[in-house]
Amino acid sequence: MKPLDPIHPRRRVALGLLFFILFIAAWWFVTATGIVTPTFLASPQKMLADGWWLLSRRGFAEDIGMTAWRVFGGFGMAAVVAVPLGIAMGAYKPIEALFEPFISFARYLPASAFVPLLILWAGIGETQKLLVIFIGSVFQLILMISVIVAGTRRDLVEAAYTLGARQSGILRRVVLPAAAPEIAETLRLVLGWAWTYVIVAELIGASSGIGYMIINAQALMATGQMIFGIIVIGVIGLITDLVFRRLNLWAFAWRYA
């Protein structure tokens, strides 16, 4: 094993699965031997039984769908704002000078701190939950995209000018193609953060969703249901991440060749 030495894709998958197996085995061991009491940590068997009960008897599939809709809705709103603004800030320094100080300030504000205000402004409906995800994602996206665009190789820009490109063509034919793969990768990464914000939004003033189920299970000390909800979020996030990664590989195959 050498630093930065690539490994075969099959070996990568096998190693990833091995860690999941070891993790579940350790979880089963600490619950089966009584190291941790079931009151505080349900066993894998109990978690699966509670999960099946939630899906078959409590309509948990609808909660999953509602949470997913909120994540993609709020993240989509953030992307619509962040991508063009981030590109403009990275490409044009006056625009960066105008927006960057405020966005650098705003990105340190936790989205959860806005929940009480958003309930006052937008009520406890879907708008409030979408806005929590939007606030949690948009400022990070803007700055990350701005940095990517600003890092476009200067030699490519100078070569385009030498070949007769106009200023309007530099952005469209040089900057955007060079930055697009990294922008897509940034969207993939920040989408994962959006899943953390949706749970915060659903813990207060929600009547559906995975977070709503988790807070109800906590009142009953049903750790199996809570763990199942957390695992569902992880599984959906992992599937979404893999799909996003495949789309990036397909759209920018020239970059990863």
Instruction: Grade residue 253 by pLDDT with cuts at 50, 70 and 90.
Output: confident
Q: At residue 247, does pLDDT exceed 80? A: yes
- Residue whose token pair is 């989205």: 111
pLDDT at 165: 67
Distance of CA 138 to the CA centre of its chain: 12
pTM: 0.84
pLDDT at 205: 67
- Residues 100-153 have pLDDT tens digits of 999 999 888 888 888 888 888 887 778 888 998 999 999 999 999 999 998 877
Cα 68 to Cα 76: distance, rounded to the nearest angstrom = 12
CA–CA separation, 19 and 189 (whole Å): 22
- Contact (CB, 8 A) for 131 and 74: yes
User: For position 4, what pLDDT does the model report?
Assistant: 66
pLDDT at res. 18: 93
Q: What local confidence, expressed as pLDDT, does residue 256 receive?
A: 59
Q: Residues of the chain with pLDDT > 70: what percent?
A: 95
148 and 83 Cβ atoms separated by less than 8 Å: no
Question: Rg of the Cα trace of the chain?
Answer: 22
11-15, 85-89, 95-99, 144-148: least confidently modelled range:
11-15
**Fold entry, domain 68-206:** MetI-like fold (1.10.3720)
**Cβ neighbours of residue 185 closer than 8 Å, sequence gap 6 or more:** 248
- Tokens read off for 47: 């978690």
